[in-house]
Amino acid sequence: AKAKVHLMAGAGGRGKTTLLLAVAAKITRGEPLPGGDASTPQSVLYISGEDGPADVLKPRFVPAGCYPKLLHELPSLTTPSGDYLSIIDHGKAIEQIVHETQAALTIIDPVTAFCGSHLDNNNATHIRAVMARLQEIAESTGTALMALNHLTKSTEASLVNRVLGSGSWTHASRIVWGVIEDQTLGHLMGLMKSNIGPIDPVDR
């Protein structure tokens, strides 16, 4: 959804990055996503705190059938003054990059890598401030902003309540996606929450 903040959560190694690169490839080719219509090719901005663009992202992105010129990465994760990129402190700079690249989709992977060294991931006030800044960026630029997070290992709570850290991650997101591994069906992606559309009921 354009101009909205999405959250995607899953355990490590469940293919979240590979999945989003496949989505990004479709966007750069103008191909429809499931349930959608074809459009003109559009650009994608991928801000990664874990994987290098040259040795990890591009080798996954190219086989997915992307249009390479429309995938943009940051040249550096530090500012000219030497500070590590922070959503709160450098939100205007991120917003400017989204404007310059005209990104239809902006991916921040993982979002916790860009929340500043003083962030308390379990503090609702801290997380709401981060999410509010991301929503400002999404609304100002019109980009669909996808923030990646992780799930806890607990199996007691529902999936939407297993997102690592404060519940504000999910409360402040308009759409929350989950990625899980099923012993029978393999890797699955589905909606855990949506404030702008229905969620199909499931039997399991």
pTM metric for this prediction: 0.88
Helices (H) and strands (E) in the chain, counts: 5, 7
The confidence score (pLDDT) of residue 116 equals: 85
Mean pLDDT calculated for residue range 59-84 = 80
pLDDT at 119 over 50: yes
Strands in 186-194's sheet, in edge-to-edge order, are 71-73, 43-48, 103-109, 144-150, 5-10, 175-182, 186-194
155-179 residue pLDDT tens = 777 778 888 888 899 999 999 998 8
